[in-house]
Amino acid sequence: MTDTATTTSLNKFEKFKAQKDGLAIRDEIEKFAALGWEAMDEIDRDHRLKWVGVFFRPVTPGKFMMRLRMPNGILSSNQMRVLAQVVQRYGDDGCADITTRQNIQLRGIRIEDLPDIFNRFHAVGLTTVQSGMDNVRNITGDPVAGLDADELYDTRELVQQIQDMLTNKGEGNPEFSNLPRKFNIAIAGGRDNSVHAEINDLAFVPAFKEGSGEWGVGSGGDEGAGEASKQISSPSSPSSPSSPSSPSSPVFGFNILVGGFFSAKRCEAAIPLNAWVLPEDVVAVCRAVLEVFRDHGLRANRQKSRLMWLIDEWGLEKFRVEVESRLGELLLPAAAKDEIDWEKRDHIGVYKQKQPGFNYVGLHIPVGRLYAGDMFEIARIAEVYGSGEIRFTVEQNIVIPNISDSRLATFLTDPLLERFSIDPGLLTRSLVSCTGAQFCNFALIETKNRALAMIKALEEDLTFTNPVRIHWTGCPNSCGQPQVADIGLMGTKTRKNGKTLEGVDIYMGGKVGKDAHLGTCVTKGIPCEDLQPVLQDLLIKHFGAKLKQEAILVSK
């Protein structure tokens, strides 16, 4: 328990965590399955089950949601098939959602099936552990890691190592199961910041360190540089033009960002810690930062418990010193600049891999929603045309890698691509939406279906020259990340003609990729029923959209 926690009053979450750690629930699953959800202790049911990724849904009582962990957003066709079988047994209640953290959630789950579901997951190496509540969320990495010829670092192994450390290889790790609040970690490996590093509590962005000498924490001087050269020239981490050949050449590592988060109370982009690490020190840095957060993070008020609040209270310098003291080493100052110098890619469409003769193809999954049949089909195409691997993006889409040139043409004629397009409309392709009122009790509005209908209507009336990124989020918790969007729509309640209606606050100015920064609220309380003309106006004024009618007249 933290020093801060022992000296301040504890909120109700801290109290129930102190009574029984969330992870203790692992040993009670059989009991709950036999008991049934209605007879369960409410705190176990509504909160502690989230430590094993099982979420009670007050909107659909008795039909739970299960949140997986997908390190770097990668899974196999076998794993996808197991997920499909799980949701298939729930008929119309069963579906799945790809999430904004490169992850997947299953719906319709009955408590009596949990022992069987966990056994099936275990058999194929899937875990749901520590995916909710005061734990580290799915760790995001570059969605085209190991495929992208221009990547600077293949993030896959590192992300897996961090997850293994945090979760004891998926079995659960009590060392990190009682944080003051949720915690997000991301590692960018490419030049386009495909993971939205800036909105994570802890993020690593590629950066080369110039000069000679003392590299990295815990690795010891020139030896560390040698390790670094080994890392970035290894097959899984493609060589780059500036691969170091001697200690005086630029060495690859990561600049560290800390404190990014969204919440109903406050949203902040991550700030530089002024620290740089070698790839092999990233896991140790994650551990050190988490230990500091766990032991000193603020636990009195849950609205002020995310890492940035501690950094505010201490100042960045003290925070850094505490991290260094946990590491047992001084952190090196940040590299002068990071390597994020591309606009963000969305990975939809066909792209050459760095492996000659192979391609990765990004498919658009409308608002990330999948049904059992879709999941079986995705597993099939990944196996028939690729290597059986499937990847998720933070835009809630999928990437199928390793499709050979010889199979590509046939792949492109597969009927599944009519449902999950590789060339969707320019609004559709960038649409993101959180869960919303269909399943989430925090929601102030319905999101996913409304988002799809709105985009369809706008695309019918307008022509576009560039994609416009529209993100919907059902409440100020901001799971749909409206602050990173070109146009962000945040659910709210609003008044019109004396009636309370579903509405949105509109955010604009979010910039992703190079020079990422957050958008801000520009208009409040637009009733959803009046939204279409408002969006149409914004798209014409700010994003070069044209009315189809006008376009026809001009061409005449």
Residues that bind ligand SF4 (CB under 6 A): 434-436, 440, 442-443, 473-475, 477-480
Q: Using CB under 6 A, which of 64, 204, 254, 262 touches ligand SRM?
A: 262
Asked if 479 and 435 count as a contact pair (C-beta separation under 8 A), the reply is: yes
Residue with Cβ nearer ligand SF4 (19 or 441)? 441
Residue 100: which of ligand SRM, ligand SF4, none does it interact with, CB under 5 to 8 A by kind? ligand SRM
| C-alpha–C-alpha distance, residues 307 and 496, integer Å | 39
* 477 in contact with ligand SRM (CB under 6 A): yes
17 is catalytic: no
81 is catalytic: no
Residue 193: which of ligand SRM, ligand SF4, none does it interact with, CB under 5 to 8 A by kind? none
Residue nearest to ligand SF4 (CB): 474
Torsion of CA 520, 138, 422, 479, to 10 degrees: -30
- Closest CB 96 distance from ligand SRM, rounded Å: 10
| C-alpha–C-alpha distance, residues 352 and 547, integer Å | 35
And the tokens for 305?
Answer: 């418990």
Residue 183: which of ligand SRM, ligand SF4, none does it interact with, CB under 5 to 8 A by kind? none
Residue 475: which of ligand SF4, ligand SRM, none does it interact with, CB under 5 to 8 A by kind? ligand SF4
- Closest CB 433 distance from ligand SF4, rounded Å: 8
Residue with Cβ nearer ligand SF4 (167 or 438)? 438
Binding mask of the shown chain, residues 216 to 255, with x at each position contacting ligand SRM by CB under 6 A:
----------------------------------------
| C-alpha–C-alpha distance, residues 193 and 344, integer Å | 6
Residue with Cβ nearer ligand SF4 (102 or 229)? 102
182 is catalytic: yes
Cβ-based neighbours of 137, under 8 Å, separated by 6 or more: 101, 103, 131, 182, 183, 184, 185
| C-alpha–C-alpha distance, residues 103 and 86, integer Å | 16
And the tokens for 209?
Answer: 């360190």
Residue with Cβ nearer ligand SRM (394 or 462)? 394
Residue 359: which of ligand SF4, ligand SRM, none does it interact with, CB under 5 to 8 A by kind? none
* 479 in contact with ligand SRM (CB under 6 A): yes
Which amino acid belongs to residue 86? V
- Closest CB 510 distance from ligand SRM, rounded Å: 13
Residue 119 burial class via C-beta count within 10 angstroms: exposed 0-12, middle 13-18, buried 19 and up: exposed
What H or E segment, with its residue span, contains residue 541?
Answer: helix 531-543
Binding mask of the shown chain, residues 157 to 196, with x at each position contacting ligand SRM by CB under 6 A:
------------------------xx-x------------
| C-alpha–C-alpha distance, residues 446 and 154, integer Å | 38
Residue with Cβ nearer ligand SRM (99 or 155)? 99
And the tokens for 388?
Answer: 């059986």
67 is catalytic: yes
Query: What is the three-state SS of 276-310?
Result: EECHHHHHHHHHHHHHHHHHHCCCCCHHHCCHHHH
Q: Using CB under 6 A, which of 199, 258, 269, 403 touches ligand SRM?
A: 199
Residue with Cβ nearer ligand SF4 (308 or 432)? 432
What H or E segment, with its residue span, contains residue 78?
Answer: helix 77-88
Residue 88 burial class via C-beta count within 10 angstroms: exposed 0-12, middle 13-18, buried 19 and up: middle
First-last CA distance in the chain:
73
| C-alpha–C-alpha distance, residues 177 and 327, integer Å | 20
474 is catalytic: yes
Q: Which stretch binds ligand SRM (CB under 6 A): 72-80, 257-265, 375-383, 456-464?
A: 257-265
Asked if 304 and 311 count as a contact pair (C-beta separation under 8 A), the reply is: no
| C-alpha–C-alpha distance, residues 136 and 290, integer Å | 9
- Closest CB 467 distance from ligand SRM, rounded Å: 19
* 52 in contact with ligand SRM (CB under 6 A): no
50 is catalytic: no
- Closest CB 47 distance from ligand SRM, rounded Å: 10
Residue with Cβ nearer ligand SF4 (126 or 475)? 475
| C-alpha–C-alpha distance, residues 91 and 252, integer Å | 50
Marked catalytic residue, from 181, 299, 320, 469: 181
Cβ-based neighbours of 426, under 8 Å, separated by 6 or more: 459, 464, 465, 466, 467, 468
Binding mask of the shown chain, residues 404 to 443, with x at each position contacting ligand SRM by CB under 6 A:
------------------------------xx---xxxx-
Residue with Cβ nearer ligand SRM (55 or 204)? 55
Asked if 364 and 348 count as a contact pair (C-beta separation under 8 A), the reply is: yes
Marked catalytic residue, from 17, 67, 294, 391: 67
Question: Would you please indicate which residues are annotated as catalytic (active-site) residues?
Answer: 67, 181-182, 474, 479-480
Chain positions contacting ligand SRM, by CB under 6 A: 55, 57, 65, 67, 97, 99-101, 103, 105, 137-138, 181-182, 184, 199, 261-264, 306, 434-435, 439-442, 477-479, 481
